[in-house]
Chains A and B, each alone.
Chain A
Amino acid sequence: MTILSNTQASEKIPLWRDERILRIVAQIVSAVVVLAFLFWGVTNFLRITQQRGMPLTYNFLREPAGFPISEGFLTYDPTMSFGRAFLVGLINTLVVSGSGIVLASILGLIIGLARLSSNWLLSRIALAYIEFHRNIPLLVLMFLWYFGVFAKLPSVKESIAMPGPSYLSQRGLYITFPRLTETGSIFLIFSGIGVILAFAAFYILRHIRENTGRETHFGLTSLGLFLLLTIAGWFLSGGEPFWMDKPSMQGFNFQGGFRLSPEFTALLVSLTMYTAAFIAEVVRSGIQAVHRGQVEAARALGLRSPQVMSLIVLPQALRVIIPPLISQYLNLTKNSSLALTIGFQELFAISKITINQAGRAVPVFLMVMLTYLAISLLTSLVLNVYNRKVQFVER
């Protein structure tokens, strides 16, 4: 009866009052409006760039850049192209945000745990840290670290000498660093193979023991394999795979050694400390989301405090932690673009110079936006896959 009356009712409703149809129509209309607006925007943009003689071409990327870049992980000099300079910037961004993410995660986890500690002093210190860093702008923090701390270090002539030898001054930290000799690559290849073989042996032999119960000494065997190959590599490379690259004062600056520049360090420190405060809060909320009963049950089973944390609480907390953690990682990556104020030349800083030197604002900005978009999407893709793995498998 009800079905019948329903169908009768729907037959009676005229088209313009049928909610289902109205909904579809509303969606189509809004889609058309949005698409029309987009179309208008894009055509308008293309027309204006043509009119102003700034066509959307990327030929300039092959022209020599002409400007210096203070530090980078690729070889670069001013005679190389704008494209190369962009690449140097991209790598700089990836390195600083990659190391920032790792360091901020570790620091954030520690502070988040400290915040929940039953030790009153520890948890208050963590609280003070979090509130300080969450409530001042990142840019201020960067200036504080760069001009307030690193620039106030002793001048290069009065560097603090430390064992190693390593030297700390306002020009950065120079440390003695082992570098490969000519034959060093042989050693490196052998120990690389050693690591791979050791892992393979470890897993295979352990698998055999787990299945057959026969003792296979998997730990000792894999360690032996690794040591054997490493020692073989050492002798094959003539006993000197490395030489120590020691920094020494030459003229105005130290030469040689491994250098952490004040610009890079200030950026890394401020990004890490700032983001760690947010990650600490994420960690805290994740841990507090795990039911208290779980902890009590674990204690009742006789697990010790670190075991409760690593075996029971953290694996469950991860499910809550990861989604907001992803956005913190993305924030860190994007915030690295503030580096241009403290003289570290990453993607955005180099792009701004390129805009000025090549006079191509629109194409370069498009490139920058697309690059950041690609980095962010890639980061969230990887973390989303991981997130899916740690979620409950529901049956």
Chain B
Amino acid sequence: MRKILILIVSLLVISLVAVACASQAPSPEKVVETVVVTVEVPAEQAPVQPQGYGTIANRVRERGKVVCGVHTELLGFGYLDENGRNIGFDVDLCRAVAAAMFGDPEAVELVPITAADRGPVLQTGEVDMVSRNMTWTSKRDAEWGNFTWITFYDGQGFLVHSDSGIKTLQDMDGASICVTTGTTTEKNLATTFADAGLSYEAVTFEETSAVYGAYEEGRCDVATSDKSQLAAVSAGFANPKDHVILDITISKEPLTPAVPSGDDQWFDIVKSVMWGLINAEEYGVTSSNIEEMKSSDNANIRTMLGEEGDWGYSVLGLEPDSLAKAVAAVGNYGELYNHYFGPNGIAFTLPRGLNSLWSEGGMIYAPPIK
């Protein structure tokens, strides 16, 4: 904006000088006049905001849909139900964002991506959000985009055939191990085995389904991935009881949704929604009691549900009840977890462990909404 103004002004100056030269009559007063215009420019400047602020958020608002990179083949996290609907823990996080933005959890466009696609789609901004079983690492954070908030604490484990007799890491010396390419899993495996001085044959595939297909057929003795994924996949095997997840964890895998870098507003919106789900569980706000909770005695709850005060929604361009809509749409964090992984979870059962609330001995913690 400023550049254009300066350009216009300087063009004006040049034309005035040219006119002055042509008429052979010096008219310095006019030149002085134009200088006054340049002084006015700073006065017209908009309030200072970082470059790119709101670009993705505005794009999402115009489109009326949140475009999410998701999984379609991972039971529990991102998969297709019997009606072909893409559901799952990660997918619902995306729907929560859509509910907060538009009040409609269906205002999403779900793009199936492979593990190896996650970086490129973030770097190119092809999607607004990647919510696909993705480990947050410093390098990915530096190179790919902005990681929002850890929604699932996972760790890499090993799935073996029960009759193989494998109990420890040392037992796996010389084994064939199925692994997905382009993942941290692959690197963890390499370093762990190198450190322990063990050898192995890596059998790598790009598609998760191919990895476990080959493992189940017996092409590999071991399959390795995040424990949640191993639990998810082995639940879908023909004979789930013939497979065991070993009690070995070789890595930290904080699974985190991420957004492309460059727009702090969008980054903050997605983070706030994650925090909203976690805080809702802390305060006991569920999708079923949310209307009653709006008149709760607790001021923090009333603020979070948009009844009073500003928890930051005005700057983020959201509605006061955006977080309430997100919770109403997918439930609070605990509801979401139990829906898929709880004792009666529709995908499989996985004890909450580290994924319990901080107040209950777990690691799930979020800044207060106020």
Contact = CB atoms under 8 A, between A and B. Distances in A.
Contacts of B175: 251-253
Interface stretch (A3-11, A23-31, A316-324, A350-358): A350-358
A251 B200 CA distance: 11
A341 B115 contact: no
A343 B174 contact: no
Contacts of B143: 359
A70 interface: yes
A155 interface: yes
A304 interface: no
Interface string B167-210: 00000011110000111001101110010000011111111001
Interface residues of B, number: 40
A79 to B, nearest CB: 7
A66 interface: yes
A343 B217 contact: no
A250 interface: yes
Interface in A338-395: 340-343, 345, 349, 352-353, 355-357, 359, 361
A15 to B, nearest CB: 35
Contacts, number: 110
B218 A253 contact: no
B342 to A, nearest CB: 32
B119 interface: yes
B206 A67 contact: no
A67 B120 contact: no
A263 interface: yes
A341 B123 contact: no
Interface string A105-129: 0000000000000000000000000
A314 B331 CA distance: 74
Contacts of A156: 218
Q: Which of B173, B183, B210 has the most CB of A within 10 A?
A: B210
Interface residues of A, number: 37
Given A356-B119, A357-B182, A251 B202 contact: no
Contact of B174 (A79, A152, A253): A253
Nearest to A356: B182
A307 interface: no
Interface string A57-74: 000000000111110000
A47 B206 CA distance: 32
A361 B115 CA distance: 14
B181 A70 contact: no
Given A343-B204, A356-B182, A79 B194 contact: yes
Contact of A250 (B115, B174, B182): B174
Contacts of B85: none
Contacts of B144: 359
B25 to A, nearest CB: 44
Contacts of A361: 119-120, 123-124
A70 B202 CA distance: 5
Contacts of A79: 194
A155 B183 CA distance: 28
Contact of B181 (A54, A67, A147, A155): A67
A262 interface: yes
Contacts of B118: 356
A72 to B, nearest CB: 11
Contacts of B221: 252
Nearest to A151: B217
A252 B205 contact: no
B214 interface: yes
Contacts of A237: none
Given A67-B187, A252-B221, A361-B123, A78 B194 contact: yes
B355 to A, nearest CB: 26
B343 interface: no
B116 interface: yes
Q: Which of B173, B189, B218 has most chain A Cβ within 10 Å?
A: B218
A152 B115 CA distance: 27
A343 B205 contact: yes
A69 B118 CA distance: 21
B219 A341 contact: no
A52 interface: yes
A171 B219 contact: yes
B210 A70 contact: no
B140 interface: yes
Nearest to B114: A352
A54 B202 CA distance: 30
Interface in A35-83: 52, 54, 66-70, 77-79
A68 B177 CA distance: 11
B241 interface: no
B139 interface: yes
B205 A70 contact: no
B106 to A, nearest CB: 31
Interface of B: 115-116, 118-120, 123-124, 139-140, 143-144, 164, 173-176, 181-183, 186-187, 189-191, 194, 200-207, 210, 213-214, 217-219, 221
25 contacts: A54-B123, A66-B190, A66-B191, A67-B181, A78-B187, A78-B190, A78-B191, A151-B219, A170-B219, A171-B219, A252-B174, A253-B176, A262-B219, A342-B210, A343-B203, A345-B204, A349-B206, A352-B182, A353-B186, A353-B204, A355-B182, A356-B118, A356-B183, A359-B143, A361-B120
Given A54-B123, A361-B124, 4 more contacts: A77-B194, A252-B174, A252-B175, A252-B176
